Structures are given as C-alpha cells and as structure tokens.
C-alpha cells in the first residue's frame, strides 16, 4: 500500500512539473489554456497511472511474440518506471494477526487532516447557505437567478449545477451601470466555464492530499488563471478596461474576498497583478493550429500511453499444450529455460490458487492463501498438465501468475467473482505457555523463480516422512501452508512477527511435504486431519482452533474442460 502511494505521488509530481513547463511555454496565450493545463495536474492526483495500465490490461491481450516486437520504446519505459517503488513491507511480511502500528499511525494522521479540511469546508458552505436563505430575488438581466443578501462578502456565483448570482445588499446602488455590467459579465463567465464544479473537484484533491504542498500551489495557480481567463473574456466583449477596474475596486472598498474557493467571485487571485494586466497587459494571443495540435497530442499521450502499456505488458504464451493426467506427478527435474512454463499434473482449483493467489500480481506472495468455491466437481478431481512457451523470456512469477490467468480464461473459459463470506476457518493463536519457536538466525532472500532453489531462500519447505520442516518462514507462511494441508483457511492471530525454523510431525500416513511455498508446480496434498495438525502445532506453543470468519473467496461462475484435454 505504501509503495503504491509513493508511486502515485512521484508520478503526479512529475506530471505537475511537465504541466508547469507547458504553462511557461503558453504564457503569452489565453489564460484559459493554462487553466485547463493546471486542472489536468489536479485531476492527475485522482487518476493513478496504475489504473490506466490496469484498464489497458483488460483489453484483448497481444501475444507476447508480437507485443515485444511492436512495443515502442516509450511504452516499454512507462511499463518499467510506473511501479519502481515496491511495497516496503514485501521483504518482511507481517504476520496476519499482527498490527502494523506504523501504517495505523500514518492513516490516523491522514484521517485527522482530512477531517479538519472537510470540517473547514463544511463550515464555509454553511455560511453560504445562510446567505442564500436570507437573500431576496432582484431583477437584473443576467440570464440566471440573481439574489441580494445582507450577509454576503462580495458578488459570487453559488451552486454547481443550478448556479445563482448572489450580490451584496446595496451593490447595485454603489456601482455605476457600466461597472455593474462589467461585474455581471465577469460572473457570467464563471457560469459558462463551470468554474464552481472544477473548483469543487480540486477541493476534493486538497482534502485527500492535504499533506502535500504541491496540491495547494496548484490550487493557487487555478484561481489565478481562472480569474485572468474571465478578465480576458470581459475585455473581449468590448468592456472598457477603466470601467472594469473601477467596478472591481469599488467592490474591494466595501467587501472582503469570497469565503469559499468553489464560490467564484470577482476579487479573487492577486488583485494588483490582475489590474495591471487589465489596464496595460498585452492582449492574449489565440492558439494557432500547431499549438492546438501540440496540446491535443500531449493530452492524448498522457491518457493513451499508460493504457497501451497495459495492453502490451500483459503477454500471453505463444504456444500452450494442455493434457489430461491419470495421477498426480511431480517432475524431479525443474526446467529453468527462459520463457518455458511447466505445470505438472494438478487440478484446476490448484491452478486457480496459484494464478490468482500465490502469483496474482506477477510476484510471489508466500503468505497468501486463496479459497476457491463453486464450479463442477471435476475442477477438484481431474488432473491437467500444462506446457507453454513464450518466444521472449518472461520471469517465472509472471508466467505462474498473470500469464497463467490468461490460459485459464482462454482455454478453460474461466469466469469468476470474489465474495467475502462467513465460512468455517481455523485460527492460530499462541498457547498458554507462550510460543516455542526456533528463531531463524542469519539472513535470507526472497525466492527467485528464475533460478533453481537455493539454501538461502526464505520460507523453504522440506518433507520428512509424516511431516515437514520450514526454514526462515513467517507465521503467515505457516498459515498459508496449513490452509492447503487442511483444505480450510487458517488465520494468523498470534501477533508473532519474525522468521523461524519450524519442525512439524503430523503423524498422519497421508501427509506429504508442504507444497506451494517453494514449488508452485506441486499438487495439493491429501487433507491432513485437524487433530494431527493441532497436536503438531501444540509442540510449537501454538493453538489451532475451529472458528467462523469473513474470508475472501474466489467463486467460479463458469469453467469448461479444455478442448482436446
């Protein structure tokens, strides 16, 4: 989560820097152009590139052999740098039952800031609503409803979809007709541009990212260019600059600035700078064809390149062979040839757990376990062997995850949805005498599936007769393996962090070495009795108990046997 947020923040920052450079390039053009540039920088905070890449991945995937040849360098770059910061907790997973106090503290501070900003906006909104309640309709040819309020600070447009022009009581008498017409023209420009709506959107950005000074700086640029855009529009209508400036100054003599950024007034932004621009500033030039084309290309690239990256970075295997098997079989020799994928005889349910759980995001998640529900009985009994080849090398975690997902969806016609269900589970807690765990000494490295297993790998498993041993494993790793053995989700509620060496004697003739933690091709073992697991865990100072709890379940909606399989 923290890694994803870090990626989003630096991407939005770089995007804002690019927008700032574009604003400099278009400084002599109309303010409306720069306003839309800054608004795009604001919207970027609400639209992570990862969402656009994910959207692209939902389109028909290009075969790996074609996508790698056709992929432009810029798209390759987007795919490689869009997620450069990994989640900082990936290398040392926290036990499922343990509290991540750092994350809780960060979320708590953010929540307090968000609540404070929201409260400030709400109080200001109530002031505006009070002004509307105490206002009365006046007859002015403005094209929208005009009301006079005794408590209003300055003229302003109120409302997002049904705007109302609120004028301070006595404003009509204080301004000359030419000055009043200029002020009305300014306010009607805000209405035509829907400035209240876009300002409200940026207010959401400020509330969500209140801790980041850049969003407040972008907000100041938006107000500045918004007011300048309306000033330019008023002058293009033929209004005399002197009448317009005198109208603004007469208002400023009696009233303060608007209390809400989403209420578009006439005295916003830096007033001295605006008046100088109105009286002496050069007329803003219109965009020519080449500058319009440059802006269009830049906007299209910002949206389409991440989507295209999602399309071409979700490769499929070039060739896939699926054969049915009579019995479970595990290869003694692992083929680590680049671009080759082998899954020995196993069930469709096991393949689903592997593709959408253990390797769902193209990385190994050793503490994860996925419960699969629904589907015909053959998904749990029929065995299939899959051999596949990608012309260009792909890492094995990607082949065991997203690329295997494509095989299941294309060849097995798999469709599914996810639900959170209250189902029977097991909970793992610390026994009354405390944990009796052998702490792992030294260091280990996450398993690299592009290389043969190494003694330095974390969370390795080895079988011995009626049990198994875990090396450098977390309690989360243990729970993931037990979930496979017991065919039921095991939830860690021990609160025990760290890595341990664990020896479990299951004393069950059907027991077999723990798969999944280090060997994704291994089939699921026969279920182990609850009592055997309970007794083995008790020797480690851990207690296994049946319970019922909310668990995310992948529910099969439709699946078919593969053609020729």
pLDDT in tens, 126-160: 888 888 888 888 888 778 888 888 865 667 888 88
Tally the C-alpha atoms within 13 A of residue 405's C-alpha that lie toward its C-beta: 19
Name which of 294, 377, 414 is nearest 18 in CA terms.
Answer: 294
- Tell whether 409 is covered by a domain: yes
Q: What is the mean pLDDT of residues 443-454?
A: 74
Is the full-model pTM beyond 0.85?
A: no
Does 421 score more than 80 pLDDT?
yes
Residue 565 forms part of a structural domain: no
Least confident stretch, 284-293, 379-388, 471-480? 284-293
Long-range contacts of 432-439 (CB under 8 A, 24+ apart): 433/541, 434/541, 435/494, 435/496, 435/540, 435/541, 435/542, 436/539, 436/540, 436/541, 437/496, 437/500, 437/502, 437/540, 437/541, 438/500, 438/501, 438/502, 438/503, 439/498, 439/499, 439/500, 439/501
Query: Which of 208, 258, 213 has the alpha carbon at shortest distance from 107?
Result: 208
How much is the pLDDT for 55? 63
Q: Is residue 563 part of a domain?
A: no
In a domain, 468, yes or no: yes
Residue 342, pLDDT score:
86
Do 433 and 299 fall within a single domain? Answer: no
Choice between 457 and 430, residue whose per-residue pLDDT is larger: 430
Residue 303 lies in a domain: yes
> 112 and 87 in one domain?
no
Query: Are 39 and 23 in contact, with CB atoms under 8 Å apart?
Result: no
- Are 334 and 467 within one domain? yes
Is residue 307 included in any domain, yes or no?
yes
Mark whether 330 and 466 lie in a shared domain.
Answer: yes
Q: Mean of the per-residue pLDDT values for the chain?
A: 78
Question: What integer pLDDT is reported at residue 332 of this predicted model?
Answer: 39
Q: Could you report the per-residue pLDDT of 486-499, keeping only the tens digit for each? A: 878 888 999 999 99
Specify whether 186 is located in the same domain as 248.
yes
Identify whether residues 275 and 289 lie together within a single domain: no
CA distance 543 to 5: 37
Same domain membership, residue 237 and residue 116: yes
pLDDT tens, 77-118? 544 455 555 443 334 444 444 446 777 888 889 999 999 999
Any domain includes 75: yes
Rounded Cα distance between 266 and 227, Å, is 8
- Helix 271-280 × helix 213-236 angle, to 10°: 30
Indicate if 490 and 503 belong to the same structural domain: yes
Number of separate domains in the chain: 3
Residues 460 and 410 occupy one common structural domain:
yes
Do 154 and 83 lie in one domain? The reply is: no
Q: Based on the domain organization, do 339 and 300 belong to the same domain?
A: no
Average pLDDT over residues 553-563: 92
Instruction: Read off φ and ψ for residue 232, nearest 5 degrees.
Output: -65, -40
Q: Residue 554's beta-bridge partner residues?
A: 372, 418
Task: State the pLDDT at residue 212.
Answer: 92
The answer to whether residue 564 sits within a structural domain is: no
Q: Which of 186, 188, 183, 180 is nearest to 164 (CA)?
A: 188
Written as one string, the DSSP assignment of 455-489 is TTBSSEEEEETTEEEEEEE-HHHHHHHHHHHHTS-
Nearest to 548 by CA among 487, 491, 507: 491
Residue where a domain stops, chosen among 232, 256, 281: 281
**Averaged pLDDT for residues 323-352:** 74
Q: Residue 516's domain spans which residues?
A: 319-558
Greatest mean pLDDT range, 49-58, 219-228, 278-287, 384-393: 219-228
Q: Which value, in Å, is the radius of gyration of the alpha carbons in the chain?
A: 32
Task: Report the C-alpha gap between 475 and 459 in whole angstroms.
Answer: 10
- In the 8-state DSSP scheme, what is residue 357? I
Q: How far apart are CA 360 and CA 343, in angstroms?
A: 16
Check: CB of residue 422 under 8 Å from CB of residue 550.
Answer: yes
The verdict on 334 and 478 lying in the same domain is yes
């Amino acid at each position: 989560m923290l890694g994803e947020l870090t990626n989003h923040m630096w991407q939005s920052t770089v995007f804002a820097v690019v927008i700032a450079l574009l604003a400099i390039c278009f400084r002599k053009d109309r303010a409306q152009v720069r306003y839309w540039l800054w608004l795009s920088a604001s919207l970027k905070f609400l639209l992570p590139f990862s969402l656009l890449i994910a959207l692209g991945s939902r389109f028909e995937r290009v075969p790996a052999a074609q996508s790698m040849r056709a992929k432009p360098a810029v798209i390759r770059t987007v795919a490689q740098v869009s997620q450069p910061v990994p989640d900082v907790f990936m290398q040392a997973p926290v036990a499922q039952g343990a509290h991540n106090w750092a994350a809780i503290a960060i979320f708590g501070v953010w929540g307090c800031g968000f609540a404070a900003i929201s409260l400030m906006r709400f109080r200001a909104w109530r002031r505006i609503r009070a002004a509307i309640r105490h206002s009365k309709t006046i007859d002015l040819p403005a094209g929208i409803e005009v009301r006079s309020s005794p408590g209003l600070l300055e003229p302003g447009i109120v409302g997002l979809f049904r705007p109302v022009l609120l004028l301070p009581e006595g404003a009509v008498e204080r301004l000359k007709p030419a000055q009043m017409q200029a002020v009305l023209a300014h306010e009607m420009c805000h209405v035509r541009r829907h400035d209240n709506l876009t300002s409200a959107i940026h207010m959401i950005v400020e509330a969500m990212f209140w801790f980041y000074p850049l969003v407040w700086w972008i907000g100041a640029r938006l107000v500045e260019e918004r007011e300048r855009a309306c000033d330019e529009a008023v002058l293009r209508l033929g209004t005399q600059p002197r009448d317009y400036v005198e109208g603004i100054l007469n208002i400023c003599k009696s009233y303060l600035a608007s209390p809400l950024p989403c209420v578009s007034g006439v005295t916003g932004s830096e007033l001295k700078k605006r008046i100088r621009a109105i009286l002496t500033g050069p007329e803003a030039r219109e965009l020519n064809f080449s500058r319009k084309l440059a802006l269009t290309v830049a906007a299209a690239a910002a949206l389409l390149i991440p989507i295209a990256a999602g399309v071409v970075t979700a490769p499929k295997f070039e060739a896939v062979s699926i054969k049915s098997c009579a019995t479970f079989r595990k290869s003694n020799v692992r083929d680590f040839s680049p671009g080759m994928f082998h899954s020995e005889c196993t069930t469709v349910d096991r393949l689903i757990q592997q593709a959408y759980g253990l390797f769902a995001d193209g990385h190994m998640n050793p503490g994860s376990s996925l419960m699969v529900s629904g589907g015909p009985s053959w998904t749990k009994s029929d065995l299939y062997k899959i051999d596949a080849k990608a012309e260009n090398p792909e890492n094995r975690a990607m082949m065991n995850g997203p690329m295997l997902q494509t095989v299941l969806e294309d060849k097995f016609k798999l469709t599914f949805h996810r639900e959170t269900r209250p189902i029977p589970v097991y909970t793992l807690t610390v026994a009354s005498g405390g944990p009796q765990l052998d702490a792992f000494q030294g260091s280990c490295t996450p398993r690299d599936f592009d290389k043969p297993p190494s003694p330095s790998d974390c969370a390795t498993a080895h079988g011995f007769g009626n049990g198994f041993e875990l090396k450098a494993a977390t309690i989360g790793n243990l729970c993931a393996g037990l979930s496979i053995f017991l065919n039921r989700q095991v939830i860690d509620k021990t609160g025990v962090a760290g890595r341990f060496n664990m020896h479990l004697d299951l004393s069950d003739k059907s027991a077999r070495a723990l798969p999944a933690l280090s060997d994704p091709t291994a089939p699921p073992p026969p279920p182990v009795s609850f009592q055997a697991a309970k007794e083995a865990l008790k020797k480690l100072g851990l207690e296994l108990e049946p319970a019922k709890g909310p668990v995310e379940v992948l529910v099969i909606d439709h699946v078919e046997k593969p053609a020729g399989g």
